Amino acid sequence: MVRTVYPTRLPNGSLLLNNMLDYEMVPLGSTFRSLTSSASSFFSSLLLFWLCQVKVCERKMFETNFTSLDWGIVIVYLVGTGILGMFVNKYIHNASDYLVGGRSAGTSLSIASFIGTGLGLVTLMYASMGGFNKGFSFLLVPTIAFVAYIMLGSTGFVIKRLREMKLTTLPEFFEKRFSRKVRVTSGIIAVLAGILNMGIFPKMGAIFITYVTGMGGEQSELTVNIITSLLIVLVLVYTVMGGMVAVMVTDYIQFVVLSIGLGLGLWFCFNSPGLGWDEMVTTWSKAKGAAAFNPVHEKSYGWTYLFFQIFVITFAGFCWAPEATRALTTENSSTTKKTFLFGAPGFFVRMAIPAVWGIAAFVFVSKHPELKDVFFGKEPIHAAAAMPLLLGNVIPMGLLGLLVAGLLAAFMSTHDSYLLSWASIISQDIIAPLKRVDRLSDQESIFFTRVSVVVIGAFLLFWGIWYELPESVWDYMSITGTVYVAGSGVALIGGMYWKRASSTGALLSMFGGLFAILGLKPIVEPTQFFLDSRLHSKCEYWLNGYSISLSVFGICALLFIFGSLAFPDKQQPATLEGEIS
C-alpha cells in the first residue's frame, strides 16, 4: 500500500507536501505492475518488499514530492546498471583487465570515469553541507581542486611517469624504487586510511534517501538502512564480477545521467519561488556578513585551512588510490595528462553545484519557521539533511525520481571504484609481497581482490551505516586522507625526482603521516578541555584538525630528507636506473 499526498502551497508560493491527514490508500500492485513485470530481478524484488513495509506517519515538516513513480524509476535504473556491470564480465581475460581495465581506456571514457569516480553521493552531501554551513566561502575548495588538476594535467607532474611505468597499483612503485618492505607498509597504511575514510559513505547515502523521499521515524530509517545495504550488495556484485571494466563502463553511463541531474537540480534552485540567486546573496549577507563570501575571513575558514586544502587536494590527485588509479588505466601517458587536464572543470562542477544546493537549502530553511527551529534550535538535526529535503520539495515527482536515480548512481560510482582500489592494493601490495612472489597469477590476483572487495563491503554494512556523522564530513575526509597522502605523497615525489631518496626516508615519511590521526575531533577536543583557559586561547588556533594535518606534511618532508641522508640505500634498484632525474 502507498499513499497519495495532496500538496499545499506556502504563503511565499513554494510547494510543500505537508498535509498528513488527507491521504488515500491505493493498491501497490497496480502501481508497480508494469515495473515488476519488466524488472523482476532478485534485488528489485527485495527492494520492493521493503518499500511495502513503510508505514505512513505524521511527518509534516519532512514531506517531499517523492512518490511510487519515482521509486519505480530509481529501481529500474539501478537494476539496469547492475545487469550491465555483470554483463561486461565476459571481457575479463586476465588480471590486467580486471584491475586496470587492460590499460586501454581512451580519453573520453577515461575523463568520464575520472569525474564519475569523484562525483559520488558523499561528494554531493559534504559539498552541500559546506554550502549550508559556510555559504559561498565553501567554493574555495572546488576552486583549489580545479587549479590543482589543471597543474597536474598540463605538467604531467608524477602522473606521467606513473603511467609510463605500467604499474597496477601505486604502492608497486615503492617496491621498484625502494624495497618490498616499503611497498607493504604503504599498502597497509593506504588500506587503513582508505577504509576509514570510506566508512561514513553508506551513512551519507542513508541520510540522503531518508530526507529526499520524505521518510521518517524509526521503522522508516531502518528501511532506508536496508535499502542502502542492498545498494552496497548490488555494487559488490557487479564490481566483483566485472572489475575495472565494469567500473569504467557504468561510470560512463552515470556520468551522463549525473550531468543532467546536476543541471536539473541547479535550475530548480534558481527558479523556485522564494529562492534564486538574488535571494541567496541577500539572505547570506544578512546571516553571516562578509564571512559568507570571503573564505579567509576570521569567522570563515582562514589562511591555514586554505593552505591545508592546497596540499591535501593536490597530493590526493596523484596519490589517493581511486584518483591515482585513473593514471594507470589509460592507453598512454598522453591520455593520462588529458584526463587530468580536461577533467579539472568537472572536478570544480562536482563540488560547486551541490555547494549551491546547500546555499539554497539554507535560504529554504530560513524562510520556514518550523524548519528553522529544527535546523537551528537547541538540538538541531544534522546539516546533511538540508540539501535532500530541499530537492525533495522543489523538484516535482517524476523528475525527482530521475534526479535521485542519478544521485544514487553516484553512490554506486564512488563505491565501486573505492572498493576495487583498496581491494587491489590488498591483493597486489600486501598479499603478494608477503607470499614472497613477484606477482600473483591472474587467477590468484582476481580471487584475492574479489575476496577483499567482499570483506570491505561487510565492514561498510556493519560499521558505515550506523556510524554517527562528524559535524564536518569534508574535514573528516581530508584529515583521514592525510594519514596516507602526506607520507606516501612525499615518498612518491622524492623517490621519483631525487636520486638520494632512500628506503628509510620513505618509511619514516609514511609513519609520519599517521600523526594526522591527532587531528580527529575525538582526540583534539579532550586535549583542548584539559588546557588552562589562558593557554587554550593561545593554542586554539593550532589545536584543530586542519592545522595539525597541515603540519604533518612538513613533518613527513623533514623525516624523509633526514632518513634519506642519514641512512642512504646501498644501491639504487636496477628497475629504475636512468628513470630518476
Task: Give tens-digit pLDDT for 494-508.
Answer: 999 999 999 999 999
For the ranges 27-31, 264-268, 337-341, which has the lowest average pLDDT?
27-31
pLDDT band at 352 (very low <50, low <70, confident <90, very high): very high
pLDDT band at 534 (very low <50, low <70, confident <90, very high): low
Domain extents for the chain? 2-88+104-576
Tens of pLDDT, residues 103-130:
444 555 566 666 666 677 888 899 999 9
Cα 363 to Cα 5, 317, 550, distances in angstroms: 25, 33, 33
How far is Cα 124 from Cα 198, in angstroms, rounded to an integer?
15
Query: What's the pLDDT at 241?
Result: 62
Residues ≥6 apart with Cβ < 8 Å to 126: 204, 472, 473, 474, 477
Q: Taking 80 as the threshold, does the pLDDT of residue 284 lie above it?
A: yes
The three three-digit cell numbers of residue 446, written as one number? 582476481
Q: How many CB atoms lie within 10 A of CB 41?
A: 16
Q: How many CB atoms lie within 10 A of CB 279?
A: 18
Cα 483 to Cα 231, 236, 289, distances in angstroms: 29, 26, 35
Query: What's the pLDDT at 184?
Result: 92
Average pLDDT of span 41-53? 45
pLDDT band at 33 (very low <50, low <70, confident <90, very high): very low
Better-scored residue on pLDDT, 146 or 258:
146
Query: What's the pLDDT at 355?
Result: 95
3-state helix, strand, coil in the chain (%, to 5): 75, 0, 20
For the ranges 46-60, 164-178, 271-285, 335-349, which has the lowest average pLDDT?
46-60
| Paired strand residues for 24 | 4
Topology, domain 2-88+104-576: Sodium/glucose cotransporter (1.20.1730)
Cα 253 to Cα 107, 111, 457, 521, 533, distances in angstroms: 15, 12, 23, 38, 55
Burial 234-273 (b: 16+ CB within 10 A, else e): bbbbbbbbbbbbbbbbbbbbbbebbbebbebbbebbeebe
Chain-centroid distance of CA 244 in Å reads 18
